[in-house]
Amino acid sequence: MMKFKTYILSGLIAATAWSCEDFLDLKPISSETTASAYTKLSQIEAALTGTYASFQADAYVWNNVQFQDVRSDNHYAGGDNASIYEMDYLKISTTNDKVYQSWSNIYNAILKANIVMERVEEVTDPQLTETRRDQIRGEALFLRAYNYYNLVNLFGGVPLVLDATTSTDPGVVNKPRSTTEEVFAQIITDLEEATTLLPDTYGNDASINKARATAGAAWALMAKAYAQKPTPDYNKVLDCIAEVEASDANYKLIDYTYLFDGAHYNNEESILEVQWIAGADGNWGPQLLLPPSISGDTWRKFITPSKDLLAAFESEGDEIRKNTTILFENVSWIDEYYGIAEPTSDNPKPNNVAFGYKWKNAAGWSSGDRQYLLRFGDIVLLKAEALNETNQLDKAVIEVNRIRNRVDLPELTADQKSSKEVLKSTILKERRLELAQEAQRWDDLVRYGVVVETMNNLNEIDLRTGQAVDYNMTEAKILLPIPQQELDRNPALVQNPL
């Protein structure tokens, strides 16, 4: 793809003379080495910024959407990339390059966070106050937890690397897999400490408060971890969400269209987002998804919304979120789900195809359009889920209606809230409509225990054959395979069921 510039957090650090990515150019877990000790505040700040820079890697630009939305019922692969079609059809190989890429990217970020936590204690620069030292440690703990949260959801139990690896001895770096429960326990431990070290805000500058880990971000992620772990604790979920709601950051729901119009980032609903800067240090993801009229090119695009997702919006009469999430445009290429007519001189663009539209601006591979790593709308619906699971159905309905009211939908009907199980399904659908293309859907289906039946009941017709796609979903396919490259490198690893 393209070479990225250094991730910039406006106002976060003083300018440095080197690229943070070059300064901490870390390799995957099995062959890790680290840099020498840091002595200056500028060095440890640069190392921390390098850890945030990992959000610019493929794992968080669009691989996450592939694993969550394309792998589920929300989106098709689109494009012509064989690795993404493996995800679409649930036939993911151990050599899938996107799987290995994300494994490597995420472990790279974890190891950077470990370096920051270890080296910040060694910095003797008088400019580094104890308050800032604690904040840096808290940010690194959050970042490690965030990355492990994504790893464990993708792969299940993974090796827990909790220090800055300096050895190349296989006996040291070739760690076995911890259990899923152990990984979630570490995530929660990291976040609990982070909440004691991080502030609610760093001042009045939203471009800093939404760029850096805060106590609110740590509580929000902890709520998600308590819900997603193998044995959910929904009382803990509610406790964590209460802390998010009490934060001095004053998170609140805003106009839904503002969230994705490219003009209202760092808003009151945002808890944490990637700070892409258009032109200078922009997001290349939108160019891959947006239609020719916006992207300025004519090749087939990736991650196209599914007809099943479209039907879900339409069944609810959800015009605001549908039009924010999906854009239709006539194109010349053949699409196996939306149109297979060949272009002619009379009709050069015969096929009306859906495009992912939560990014609005391509900007020639350097867009300012961002991804929300955490946002309050997700947390409101998670609160509804937790209230329902703890038999507080009336309170759960209130939270769902908050989400529906802001997109001009009527409050839940008696049928939609008639029982705990019915309301559970209602909340799951609401999450789908609210969070499509935000890398949440697969985790939701897994957490609700319906991923196998959902995929096997999906009726998607391939127009080339007139036949429904057979996804042949099984429990074994819930987790991604451990990359073959890592199995070859680390004999202590054991493959997931295939």
Q: Over the stretch 78-135, which tens digit does the pLDDT of each residue have?
A: 999 999 999 999 999 999 999 999 999 999 999 999 999 999 999 999 999 999 999 9
CATH 3.30.230.70 fits 7-198+460-498, yes or no: no
Task: Name the band, by pLDDT with cuts 50, 70 and 90, for residue 166.
Answer: low
What residues pair up with 214 in beta bridges, in sequence order? Answer: none
> How crowded is residue 239: how many other Cβ atoms within 10 Å of its Cβ?
15
CA dihedral sign, ordered 245, 250, 254, 258: negative
CA-CA distance, 422 to 416, in Å (whole number)? 6
Q: What share of the chain is helix, strand, coil (3-state, %, to 5)?
A: 50, 10, 45
Q: Which amino acid is at 129?
A: T
- Look up residue 340 and give its two tokens: 């297979």
**224-270 per-position pLDDT tens digit:** 999 999 999 999 999 999 999 999 999 999 999 999 999 999 999 99
Look at residue 31 and tell me whether its pLDDT is greater than 80: no
**477-497 per-position pLDDT tens digit:** 999 999 999 999 999 999 999
- Look up residue 261 and give its two tokens: 């119009």
Predicted pLDDT of residue 280: 80
Nearest partner of 359 among 276, 443, 280, judged by Cα = 276
What whole-number percentage of the chain has pLDDT above 90?
89
Nearest partner of 88 among 103, 75, 100, judged by Cα = 75
| Span 279-297, average pLDDT | 95
- Look up residue 42 and give its two tokens: 């500028």
The DSSP-derived string for 416-448 is: GGSSHHHHHHHHHHHHHHHHTTSS-HHHHHHHT
Taking a C-beta distance cutoff of 8 angstroms, is the pair 90, 471 a contact?
yes
Distances (CA, A) of 286 to 83, 106, 184: 19, 21, 32
Task: Name the band, by pLDDT with cuts 50, 70 and 90, for residue 424.
Answer: very high
Going from N- to C-terminal start, the domains of the chain cover 7-198+460-498, 285-356
Nearest partner of 60 among 180, 147, 158, 183, judged by Cα = 147
**340-385 per-position pLDDT tens digit:** 999 999 999 999 999 999 999 999 999 999 999 999 999 999 999 9
pTM to 2 decimals?
Answer: 0.93
Locate all alpha helices (DSSP H) within 24-70, ordered by sequence.
41-52, 58, 64-65
Predicted pLDDT of residue 170: 65
Predicted pLDDT of residue 213: 98
**33-79 per-position pLDDT tens digit:** 345 678 999 999 999 999 999 999 999 999 999 999 999 999 999 99
